[in-house]
Amino acid sequence: MFTQIPKKSTPPRIRKPTIIIFSSLSIILILILIFSTNPCSQTTQILFPNFTPNYFKNTYNILYPNQETTPTNISHIVFSIASIVKTWHARKHYVESWWRPNETRGFLFLDQAPNRHLPWPPTSPRVLVSNEAMGQKDISRAIRIARGIKETFKMENTSVRWYVMADDDTVFFLENLVEVLKKYDHNGYYYVGMNSESVISNNLFSFEMGFGGAGIAFSYPLASILVKNLDVCLKRYRGSYGSDQILHSCMADLGVSLTHAKGFHQVIFVLDVTLLFYY
């Protein structure tokens, strides 16, 4: 009789490919730990205190060699300010409080020729009449203001990183604005602003909308896409109440959400919501 000899259970063999994969992964992990610039991984600093891995910091330059990387300053920002002739005499003091002639770039858009305000003082921004600029009459205020970004883009588009839209009673602290915008990559698609400080307004419009009274910033690439699509967008949302609401809708269509920047403040002093509709 033959008795079946039970098979010896051989210990599981580690196959060659597994070893290769495992050791490659370990090497990669070690390299990451050594060269990572992430503050959580300080191995580099411990192993080579004088080593600064510049090539990692400059990956951006390698990917986009033609992009500027100098710090953003006031010269990179172009403003588009909306006003009307009727109230300009009172509102100009808000604008002139922060506007720096020959330094700040941008335009003031009025609904009519400012005949009664002539001669135009050099302390005010350059003025454009929106209706004339667009060859249209009797368009809604919201659409007129929203189109300001297109007019502005057409006139000023060299060395621009940010387009900032504002009302005639918006007051900017320019250094602060530059500091805030500096934090974002102006080569990316950024829609920067803040919702209202009034919950009622946010409920009426959106918590995700940049309110125009506080100023809204669009990065250059985003503005260039926005102006290309603006006419279609204005047609689609022509029933919207405000220019900021229209622009928010255009942003939503482009898939860009608001980057909330807490330095932008839109204030409504009186809680009566109807006041909102007079601004």
Ligand X SMILES: *[C@@H]1O[C@H](CO)[C@@H](O)[C@H](O)[C@H]1NC(C)=O
The residue (of 143 and 149) whose beta carbon lies closer to ligand X is 149
Is residue 159 within 8 A of residue 139, CB to CB? The reply is no
Closest residue by Cα to residue 79 from 218, 186, 183, 190: 218
Among the listed ranges 51-59, 153-161, 162-170, 256-264, the one in contact with ligand X (CB under 6 A) is 153-161
Going from the C-alpha of 86 to that of each of 89, 90, 110, 183, the distances in angstroms are 8, 9, 9, 38
Nearer to ligand X, 247 or 258 (CB): 247
For 125, counting Cβ atoms within 10 Å of its Cβ (0-12 exposed, 13-18 middle, 19+ buried), the class is: buried
The residue within the footprint of ligand X, chosen from 57, 154, 183, 238 (CB under 6 A), is 154
Is 82 or 178 the residue whose CB approaches ligand X more closely? Answer: 178
Which stretch in 38-46, 84-92, 152-160, 259-267 sits in contact with ligand X by CB under 6 A?
Answer: 152-160
Of the candidate residues 54, 66, 102, 274, the single one contacting ligand X (CB under 6 A)? 102
The region that residue 263 occupies, defined by phi over 0 for left and psi between -120 and 50 for alpha, beta otherwise, is: alpha
Nearest distance, CB of residue 52 and ligand X, angstroms: 24
CB of 172 to ligand X, least distance (A): 16
Rounded (10°) angle between helices 148-155 and 220-236: 140
Residues 53-82 within binding reach of ligand X (CB under 6 A): 68, 70, 73-75
Q: Are strands 191-193 and 216-219 parallel, antiparallel or unpaired?
A: antiparallel
Binding site for ligand X (CB under 6 A): 68, 70, 73-75, 101-102, 122, 153-154, 157
